[in-house]
């Protein structure tokens, strides 16, 4: 049976209906036998419903700027890491690739 910790990691996906049948059945089975997780699930369900009712507002400019800067740094680091991996593979002897 699914542990309580494992269930908490699947709750959001379960609520978003992104789980395949196997994990979904495991979550349902656990919820039917664990009152604590049932309470947690109920709270998360309520929270998701509440958040969906909130109007979507654009992020304040400072937040947008920080997110954009973070994304650019992450993107640059990803490109450099990919280049490094490619270079590393090219430098390795053929029998080690």
- Our CB check for Zn ion shows the closer of 6 and 92 to be 6
- How far, in Å, CA of 71 to CA of 82, rounded? 16
Min separation Cβ 1 and Zn ion, Å = 9
- Our CB check for Zn ion shows the closer of 4 and 81 to be 4
Q: Give rounded-to-5 percent helix, strand, coil for the chain.
A: 80, 0, 20
Min separation Cβ 37 and Zn ion, Å = 3
Min separation Cβ 70 and Zn ion, Å = 35
- How far, in Å, CA of 42 to CA of 37, rounded? 8
Q: Is 34 in the site for Zn ion (CB under 5 A)?
A: yes
Site residues for Zn ion, window 1-30 (CB under 5 A)?
4
- Extract the tokens encoding 92: 């390795």
């Amino acid at each position: 049976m699914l542990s309580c910790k494992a269930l908490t990691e699947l709750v959001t996906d379960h609520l978003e209906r992104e789980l395949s049948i196997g994990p979904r059945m495991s979550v349902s089975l656990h919820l039917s036998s664990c009152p604590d997780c049932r309470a947690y699930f109920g709270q998360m369900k309520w929270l998701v419903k509440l958040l969906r009712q909130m109007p979507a507002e654009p992020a304040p400019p400072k937040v947008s700027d920080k997110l954009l800067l973070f994304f650019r740094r992450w993107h640059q680091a990803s490109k450099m890491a990919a280049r490094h991996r490619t270079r590393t593979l090219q430098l390795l002897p053929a029998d080690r690739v």
